[in-house]
Amino acid sequence: MNVMEAIKKRYSVRSYQDRAVETEKLESVLEAARLAPSASNRQEWRFIVVRDKNIRQCLMQAAKNQAFVGQAPVVIACCAKTDSHVMTCGQQCYPIDVAIAIEHMALKATEENLGTCWIGAFYEDKVKEILNIPQDIRVVELLVLGYPVKLRPSPKDRLRLKEIVMYEKWTPGLI
């Protein structure tokens, strides 16, 4: 599978098989995150892999009781050990860098015939408590991982390139 095929095939999976993810596949997904780029090579990301069913159930509750969070055989807490560095453009590094690493994982998971879903609807303080995460560490996202119950549904509607891309300068009225 090439990268464009993985991009087209990837979708947010919200229903998982009751099937463990092989260690080799999980490590391959995590390796994809490790190889992601980061601002000034800070590599602020840190990942907590949760396979334990009881802990996943607690994370489900911290994620606003989204059942599929507890159903997925793996939940990865995607964290940042950050110095809150701000890039010249005015953006903090850590949320962007962690997001890049997460998408590397999502695409590698797709290649491995695994499904993922980014979870932003969670209470950080509760996740920190459940996973014993220190206060100075940020939990950026949760990523659920496992074998989807079914193949990708029909493609989602996406804006056409001419609706989102401008060349050389901002084009008023495009949006």
- Residue 118: CATH number of its domain: 3.40.109.10
* 173 belongs to a structural domain: no
The number of residues making up the chain comes to 175
pLDDT digits (tens, 9 = 90+) for 147-172: 999 877 677 888 999 889 999 999 88
Per-residue pLDDT band at 175 (split at 50, 70, 90): low
The number of distinct structural domains making up the chain is 1
pLDDT digits (tens, 9 = 90+) for 108-136: 999 999 999 999 999 999 999 999 999 99
Whether 70 and 59 have beta carbons less than 8 Å apart is answered as yes
* 19 belongs to a structural domain: yes
For the residues 92-96, what does the mean pLDDT come to?
96
* 162 belongs to a structural domain: no
* 163 belongs to a structural domain: no
* 68 belongs to a structural domain: yes
Which tokens is 145 given?
Answer: 């991982």
* 13 belongs to a structural domain: yes
For the residues 57-84, what does the mean pLDDT come to?
96
What are the E-state strand segments in the chain? 45-50, 74-81, 115-119, 137-146
pLDDT beyond 70 at 174: no
* pTM as predicted: 0.94
Give the chain's mean pLDDT. Answer: 94
pLDDT beyond 90 at 173: no
pLDDT of residue 155: 77
Tell how far CA 131 is from the center of its chain.
18
* 115 belongs to a structural domain: yes
